Every structure is written in C-alpha cells, then in structure tokens.
Amino acid sequence: MTGQGQGQHATARPDDQVRTASRPSELRITDMRTATVGWNNWHFTIVRIDTNQGISGYGEVRDFASKNYALMLKSRLLGENPCNVDKLFRKIKQFGGHGRQGGGVCGVEMALMDLAGKAYGVPAYVLAGGKFRDRVRMYCDTPNELTGEAMGKKLQERIDRGFTWLKMDVGVQPLIGIKGALSWPQGMLPGDPGDQVERLFNTTQIMHPFTHVRLTPKGIDLICEYVAQVREVVGDEVPISADHFGHIGLDDCIRLGQALEPYNLAWLEDLVPWQFTDKWVQLERTLHTPVCTGEDIYLRENFRPLLEARGVNVIHPDLATSGGIMETKRIGDLAQEYGVSMALHMAGTPISTMASVHCAAATENFIALEHHFSEVPFWDSFIDGVPKPLIQEGYIAVPEKPGLGFEINEEVFKEHLVEHDKGFFEPTPEWDRAGSHDRLWS
C-alpha cells in the first residue's frame, strides 16, 4: 500500500537530492571580477565569477600575467551555465597562449570547476574523474644561495619540516663576475660591458641558443663543487631537482649535465626552451639524469611533439598556463601513454595551488606539486576552510568540500592588494561587451 508521502518521494527528481544553491541546470554567469595580490616582487590576479544563484567560483591568473587576459573573456561567458565546463573551455581556449598568455583561460577554467563543484555539491576532482590519492606530495623549491653548504642547510630545513622532494637553483648566475668561469661575446648588448652577461641571462628576449654564453671548465667545476656541498649536507637519498641553469646553449647543457651525473639529481629542468624538440631529444639520449620541461606550454596538443619524440622523462605543466584542471589531467593521461610521469609547476597563491591539488589527485602518473613560498609566513592564510597549516609533513590533503574546497579570507586579501591595483573585486562593466568576430574558420 502506497501512502501519500511515498508517492511524492517516488516522483521526486534526482537533482532534488543535490545540495545546491538552487538548480544547476538554471545556473548562469552574471559577472566576472578580479583582485590582484602580491608580496615582494610577486603579483597574482584572482578571478571571481558570480552567478544568478549567489554562488561564486575562484581561479587564478598565473604570476606576473595581466588581469586583462581573463577580463577580455567576460563577454564570452556572461549568460552561460558554468557547469558546462568543457563547452566554455572550448569557446575561450583560442584566446590563451604559451607562458603567461594562457593565464586568463586557465584562471577562468579553475573558477568554472569551482562553480560546477559547488553547484553539484562535489569536489572538483570528482568532475575530473575521481581521485587516485588522498594527499598530494609537495616538492619545495629553494632559490639560489651563495654556497652549496648554505643551500644544503636550507634544504635540510625543508626535510626537517617533512618535505620528501626538493628543488634548487643550480644556475650559472653565481658565476657572473668570477674570472675565468664564463665566456660570452662582448658587445652583444649596448651599455656597460660589465653587466652584459647578467642581462643576457635575465632581462633580454634572447633565447638560450642565441646568447653564445659558454661555461669554461672552471665554471663547470665550480657548479659541481656547489652540488657536492649540497649532497654532503643532506645526503644522497632525498630527491633533488635542479632548475634555472641560465641561457646557455645545448652543448654546454650536455657538458654540465654529464658533469652533474654523480650527484643523482632527480631531474634537470628547462635546460633549453621547450619549443626545440630536437634539442630535447639530444639531451634525453645523451644524459643519464632525467630531463624535464613544460611549465610554459599551453594545451595538450603542444606537449605531444615532445612525448612522441621521447624527448623528456618528466613533463612539468603549470596549471595556470597549460589549460586548467581538466586540460592538465588530459596532458598527464597523454604522458602516461608514453611512460612519462607528470610533476606540476606552481608559483602561486593557495587558490591555484588547491586547483592543482584537485588535478594531481585525479591524475594517475602524478609525482609531485611545486611549492615556491615556504618562507612566506602568511601564504596559506589567503584561504579558509582547509586544515592549517595547509602543507603538513610535505603533503596537502585533498579537500572533500564542494568545488575547490575553500573560502577566501577577505581581510588577508585586502592586506596584500598590490599598489598598482588596489581594487578588491570591483565591478568591471567596461568588459561586458568587449568582443570581436571570434570564429576561426569560414
């Protein structure tokens, strides 16, 4: 015998049981706003997408990228249902690009995943297919120190805090000014000859193969001595990756890479620009240390040449450049087909970090996610609703709350707004109608 209450329950729709602000099928984007925070010389733009049901989603434009990369997408998104993440990504991805130019599309995609997860009451990793792990290993980056012993002590501090993977800068920059360590073509740049090599490395648009800066045998010996001092302090067991080698050519990368092989580094990162697939193949075939690149590559199809050529041992996308959560998971899945692991580059706030955590949880061949700000005491205070400290014993727990799994701390945001952009999610009506004829085919 069926009672009235049972009959009502039998006719209830499945989405009546979903915890939402209203109904996902009726969710619409009504606004997009930004706030730019920073410290020291860093700045990061946070994207907020608002809806007609009172829920908002948050994403992050990559460090040092213009907020306009995101805001110019606003007119393409207004009125759309944010739960159609893939549809909207396909609509806007043509406006992204390699390096920082991908930041707007990626920040929007993170915010859409946050919104969709909140609408359906599930964590973002569920929308990406579910999780392979409950916590995500972090690797701790450490900028240059003057001596290998000093670097070793910095790395040991990180080991003592629970980090099980480390990265350090092992570049030629410390050799600048040391007589007999480097050679370079005097007069390549105008101005003071004494700062030419510094500018070749740091402030020009000259790519590695075209600087003709070279390491001398003395220079190679000094770098190896530095790394030997590091290993003397921390031992041989902990994985240590190396980055920021400087704008040197392929032959010098090979000479240096071979000289560093006794120190068992975990990977050598961005030795040459990612675009030169044939040079990466030479590196991979010649060196016995894994080689790694990818932080500036936008979209899965642009990782394919390196993978098909077997030019890398580890791919290293940055979620704020590569295309966001779903696209980066697809990149990881593609790499897995070639037997290649995926690490994630990250130098951002906890917002892009947590988006990366969801992607890492959903990607089987993931190994470690970068943390760049271990010495910034307020770093994890930008968000609430997560365990504090955010990183515990070298890991971040995968959130189980809807969306990206956090709430922003508005007071901390306001404390760290950058001087050139003090607005805190101010209205952006000037971007409501900005557009063009966007179709790529006739």
pLDDT in tens, 83-110: 999 999 999 999 999 999 999 999 999 9
Beta-strand pair 366-371/182-183: unpaired
Q: Is the pLDDT of residue 165 over 90?
A: yes
- Cα-based torsion angle of the residue sequence 131, 356, 416, 377 in order, rounded to the nearest 10 degrees: 70
Classified by CATH at the fold level, domain 27-121+421-431 comes out as Enolase-like; domain 1 (3.30.390)
- What residue has token string 């980066």? 328
Provide the pLDDT for residue 15. Answer: 47
Closest CA to 111 of 60, 76, 158, 176: 60
Closest CA to 286 of 268, 273, 305: 268
Reported as a pLDDT band with limits 50, 70 and 90, residue 199 is low
DSSP assignment of 54-84, as one string?
S-EEEEEEPTT--THHHHTTHHHHTTS-TT-
User: Over the chain, what is the mean pLDDT?
Assistant: 92
Edge-to-edge strand ranges of the sheet holding 56-61: 29-39, 42-51, 56-61
Overall pTM surpassing 0.85 (yes/no): yes
Provide the pLDDT for residue 172. Answer: 87
Peptide bond into 389 cis (omega under 30): yes
* Region at 190 (left for phi over 0; alpha for psi -120 to 50; beta for the rest): beta
Q: Is the pLDDT of residue 17 over 90?
A: no
Q: What is the largest CA-CA distance in the chain?
A: 95
- Pick the residue with more confidence: 371 or 199? 371
- As its CATH architecture, domain 135-407 has Alpha-Beta Barrel (3.20)
Domain regions of the chain by residue span: 27-121+421-431, 135-407
Q: Is the pLDDT of residue 82 over 80?
A: yes
DSSP assignment of 311-351, as one string?
--SEE--BHHHHTSHHHHHHHHHHHHHTT-EEEEB--S-HH
Provide the pLDDT for residue 190. Answer: 57
Within 8 A by CB and 6+ apart from 179, the residues are none
DSSP assignment of 216-261, as one string?
-HHHHHHHHHHHHHHHHHH-SSS-EEEE---S--HHHHHHHHHHTG
Reported as a pLDDT band with limits 50, 70 and 90, residue 130 is very high
Q: Is the pLDDT of residue 9 over 70?
A: no
